[in-house]
A and B are shown apart, each in its own frame.
Chain A
Amino acid sequence: MEAYQKKWQAVGLLVPTIVAVGAFFYWPLVRALQLSRQKTIGFGARSTEYGWQHFTTLATNPDFQYSVGASFAYAGIVVSISMVLGLLVSLLIYRMETYQSFYLVAAIFTYALSFAVTATLWKTLFNPSVGIFTETLRGVLGLVGISLNLDYTTNPLWAWVFVASGGVWKLIGYNIIFMVAALGNIPETINETMRLDGLGWVKKLLFVYVPMISPTLAFLAIVNTANSFFLTYPIIEVLQGGPSNTVNILIYDIYATFSDGLIGRASAKSIVLFVIVGGLTGIQLWISDKFAHYGGA
C-alpha cells in the first residue's frame, strides 16, 4: 500500500492541511486557553494575569449556570423531537415502493437551508402582530375561548417554542438522511420474517427497527446535541437572550460577552463550550469505534 517512500513529498502534500489546522484550530485553542486566564478588556488593551478566576467566578455564577443548563435543555428538546419526527418520516419513506428517491429529496430539503434562513422565516411567521403562525394559532385558540400571549419578545414559554421549533425544523432533514440509509441496510430477511409474524407497526418500530438502527440513532443523538449547542446561533440571536434573559443559551452568551469586550471571560466561556462539545465528540468516536468492531452500521 505505502508505495511511495520520499518523506519530503508526503510532508509537502500535508503542508496545506497542517498550516490550516495549526493556524485556525490549534492556535486558537491555545490562545483561548491563554486569554481565559487573563483579564482583558478590548483587543490590544493591557491584560493582567487572572489565573483560574474566570472559571471559579463562572462556576458560582447563577446566570452562567442557567445558561449552561438552558443549552442542555435546548439540546434535549431539539434532539428528541427532531429525531422522533425524523424517524416517523423515514419509516414512511422506507416502506414506500415507488418514488422513494423523490420523497427522500423532498423530506431532507432543510439540510440545504441555513440556520440564518430558518431564523428569518421564523421571525416573519412568528411575528407577534402579523405573523401567519401567530394569527392562525390565535384564531384557532379564539374559537375555543383561550387567549394566550403569543409574543416571543415578552412570553418566555413562547420564546422557547420559537427557538426549539426552529431548531427541530432545520435538523429533521439531516436526521432523515442517516435514518433512511440505516433502514435501507436492514436485511430483507428480517422484513420477511416480520411479515410472516404479523407484527403491528408500533411493535415493529419499537422492537425491530429502533434496535436494528440503534448505532445510527446513538450517532445522531450525539451529533445533533453538539450541533444544537453551536450551530443554532442565528435562531437564538433573534431573541437577544429572550424575555428577561430566559433564552440566554450558551452560544449566545459567549457572543454577547465577546461583544461587550470582555475577552477573557468570553474565552473562558468558550473553553467550557469546547469541553462539552469535545466530550460529546469523544463519546461519539468511541461509540462508532465500538460498533464498528461488532460489525454494526
Chain B
Amino acid sequence: MASERQSSLPGLTQFEQRFGSQLRLHLTLVVALFVLSLPIIFALLMSTQPAFRIVQTSLVGVGADGLSNYVEALTVHNFDTYLINSFVMALAIGIGKVGISLLAAMALVYYSLPFKRLILLLILFTLALPVPVRIVPMYELMVAGNDWQLVFDTSFYRLAFDPKFVNTRPGLILPYMASATSILLLRQHFKSISDSLVEQAKLDGVGPIRFLLSVVVPMSKSMIAGLFAIAFIWGWNQYLWPLLIINDQRTKGVIQPGLAQLSPQAGKPLWGVIMAGAVMTLVVPLVLMIILRNPMLKTISMQQK
C-alpha cells in the first residue's frame, strides 16, 4: 500500500517487519493450540499403550499395543453397540429437529395466523428450560406411566406416554425434537427471502409444501446444513437423559453414559481402553464439525441475533 509509514525499526523494510510479526503470530498460536490440544494428544498416546506402562511410568510415547485397546473397547466393552445407537440417535435428532423446525418456520413466515407473537414467545421461552430443569417431571412422564392415573387421569396422556417408552429409542429421542434455535434462525432466514418469489409461486398455483421443498429449502441449504451439524453434535453429546431413560445399557445404551461407566476396576487398570473409548466418542462429532465447518460456524454465530 502506498500510504504505509516508514518502518519504525531501523534496518528492516516493511516487508521484513510484517513477515517477522506474522511468523511470531504463527509460533504463538501453534504453541497455544498445542497446549489446548494436550488432553487429546495424551488420550491418543495412552490409547495405544499397554496398561502396565501407563501405570508404571508417565513417559509418554506411542505404545506397542497399537489398536488392541480399541478392539477391546469395541468387543468387550460394548462400544460397537454404543456407536451404532448414538449414531441413530444423533441422526434422528438432527433430521427431526431441522425437519420439524422447517415446517414451523414455514407456518410462521408464509401464513397469516393469529397469536403469532405469542407462539413465537412460547417457543423462545423454551430456551430457559434446559433438560436438567425438566429432568424430574420428564422422567416421571416416561417412567411412571403405571401410576399416571394418580396424577393426570385422562386417557390421552395414558395413551401418549405409556411406560413402554422407557428403554426405547422414541423415549430417548422424542424429548429432543423441539428446537427454539432452529425455528428462530430459519424464520429469520425465510424472512430475508424475497417476497416476490412467494407471490410468484402463489400465482403459479404452487402449493405450500412444494414451495417449501422446491424453493425455500434449496435457498436455505447452508443454514440447514449448519443446523443439522449443531443438532447432530448436540444429540451425540447428550448424557443425563440417556443415563436415566435407558436401563438396558448393554443393548440400548448410547456412548456418553457408556464412556462414563467405563472405569478402572481394582487390580485391572483399563486406562488404555478408557482412552480408546474417549477417542471413539469424540471422533464422530469432530469429523462432522470439520466437514460442515463453514455452514456450521456461520449458523452458530448467527445465534447471537
Is there a chain A Cβ closer than 8 Å to B60's Cβ? yes
A contact residues around B269 at 8 Å (CB): 130
Is there a chain A Cβ closer than 8 Å to B12's Cβ? no
Is there a chain A Cβ closer than 8 Å to B67's Cβ? no
Residues 246-297 of A contacting B (Cβ, < 8 Å) = 251, 254-255, 258, 263, 266-267, 270-271, 273-274, 277-278, 281-282, 285, 288, 292, 297
Report the bound CA distance from A32 to B22 in whole Å: 56
B contact residues around A266 at 8 Å (CB): 136
Whether the Cβ atoms of A285 and B124 lie closer than 8 Å is yes
Residues 136-188 of B contacting A (Cβ, < 8 Å) = 136-141, 143-144, 146-147, 150-151, 160-161, 174-175, 177-178, 183
A contact residues around B178 at 8 Å (CB): 17, 20-21, 24-25
Is there a chain A Cβ closer than 8 Å to B219's Cβ? no
Report the bound CA distance from A177 to B128 in whole Å: 22
Q: Which residue of chain B is the closest to A270 with respect to CB atoms?
A: B133
Q: Which residue of chain A is the closest to B54 with respect to CB atoms?
A: A130
Q: Which residue of chain B is the closest to A266 with respect to CB atoms?
A: B136
For B271, give its contact among A20, A111, A130 (CB under 8 Å).
Answer: A130
Given contacts A25-B126, A32-B136, contact A17 B103 (CB under 8 A): yes
Report the bound CA distance from A128 to B149 in whole Å: 50
Whether the Cβ atoms of A124 and B274 lie closer than 8 Å is yes
For A32, give its contact among B36, B137, B147 (CB under 8 Å).
Answer: B137
Contact flags (1/0) for A129-149 with B, using CB distance below 8 Å? Answer: 010100110000000000000
Is there a chain A Cβ closer than 8 Å to B92's Cβ? no
Report the bound CA distance from A233 to B144 in whole Å: 24
Whether the Cβ atoms of B126 and A21 lie closer than 8 Å is yes
Report the bound CA distance from A4 to B109 in whole Å: 10
Count of residues in A whose CB is under 8 Å from the partner chain: 101
Is there a chain B Cβ closer than 8 Å to A206's Cβ? no
Whether the Cβ atoms of A181 and B297 lie closer than 8 Å is yes
Shortest Cβ gap from B187 to chain A (Å): 12
Q: Which residue of chain A is the closest to B113 with respect to CB atoms?
A: A10
A contact residues around B195 at 8 Å (CB): 1
Residues 108-133 of A contacting B (Cβ, < 8 Å) = 108-125, 130, 132
Report the bound CA distance from A212 to B272 in whole Å: 46
Whether the Cβ atoms of B135 and A114 lie closer than 8 Å is no
Is there a chain B Cβ closer than 8 Å to A66's Cβ? no
Is there a chain A Cβ closer than 8 Å to B253's Cβ? no
Report the bound CA distance from A251 to B123 in whole Å: 24
Is there a chain B Cβ closer than 8 Å to A202's Cβ? no
Shortest Cβ gap from B64 to chain A (Å): 18
Report the bound CA distance from A6 to B8 in whole Å: 70
Question: Interface on chain A toward B: helix, strand, loop, or mixed SS?
Answer: helix
B contact residues around A109 at 8 Å (CB): 37, 40, 286, 289
Report the bound CA distance from A273 to B130 in whole Å: 10
Report the bound CA distance from A220 to B80 in whole Å: 37
Given contacts A7-B113, A103-B33, A234-B260, contact A14 B147 (CB under 8 A): no
Whether the Cβ atoms of A44 and B147 lie closer than 8 Å is yes
Whether the Cβ atoms of B130 and A277 lie closer than 8 Å is yes
Contact flags (1/0) for A1-27 with B, using CB distance below 8 Å? Answer: 111111101110110110011011111
Residues 97-150 of B contacting A (Cβ, < 8 Å) = 100-101, 103-104, 106-113, 119, 122-124, 126-141, 143-144, 146-147, 150
Is there a chain A Cβ closer than 8 Å to B300's Cβ? yes
A contact residues around B133 at 8 Å (CB): 29, 32, 230, 270-271, 273-274, 277
Is there a chain A Cβ closer than 8 Å to B198's Cβ? yes
Contact flags (1/0) for A66-106 with B, using CB distance below 8 Å? Answer: 00000000000000000000001100110111100101111
Is there a chain A Cβ closer than 8 Å to B293's Cβ? yes
B contact residues around A89 at 8 Å (CB): 29, 32-33, 36
27 A-B residue pairs with CB within 8 Å: A1-B110, A2-B109, A3-B202, A9-B208, A16-B100, A16-B177, A23-B160, A24-B174, A24-B177, A28-B141, A32-B134, A34-B151, A43-B143, A43-B147, A89-B36, A111-B233, A114-B238, A116-B237, A118-B39, A124-B46, A198-B8, A230-B133, A233-B239, A234-B260, A255-B240, A263-B136, A278-B129
Q: Name B residues whose Cβ lies closer than 8 Å to a Cβ of A.
A: 5, 8, 22, 25-26, 28-29, 32-33, 36-37, 39-40, 42-43, 46, 54-55, 58, 60, 100-101, 103-104, 106-113, 119, 122-124, 126-141, 143-144, 146-147, 150-151, 160-161, 174-175, 177-178, 183, 191, 195, 198-199, 201-202, 208, 233, 236-240, 256-257, 259-260, 262-263, 269, 271, 274-275, 277-278, 281-282, 285-286, 288-290, 293, 297, 300-301, 304-305
Task: Other than A92-B29, A270-B135, give 13 A-B pairs with Cβ distance below 8 A.
Answer: A3-B110, A9-B208, A11-B107, A14-B103, A92-B25, A109-B289, A113-B286, A114-B237, A132-B60, A182-B301, A254-B135, A258-B139, A270-B136
The 6 residue pairs across chains A and B that have the minimum distance between CB atoms:
A114-B237, A44-B147, A181-B301, A31-B137, A20-B178, A10-B111
Q: Name A residues whose Cβ lies closer than 8 Å to a Cβ of B.
A: 1-7, 9-11, 13-14, 16-17, 20-21, 23-29, 31-32, 34-35, 43-44, 88-89, 92-93, 95-98, 101, 103-125, 130, 132, 135-136, 169, 172, 177-178, 181-182, 196, 198, 215-216, 219, 226, 230-231, 233-234, 237, 251, 254-255, 258, 263, 266-267, 270-271, 273-274, 277-278, 281-282, 285, 288, 292, 297
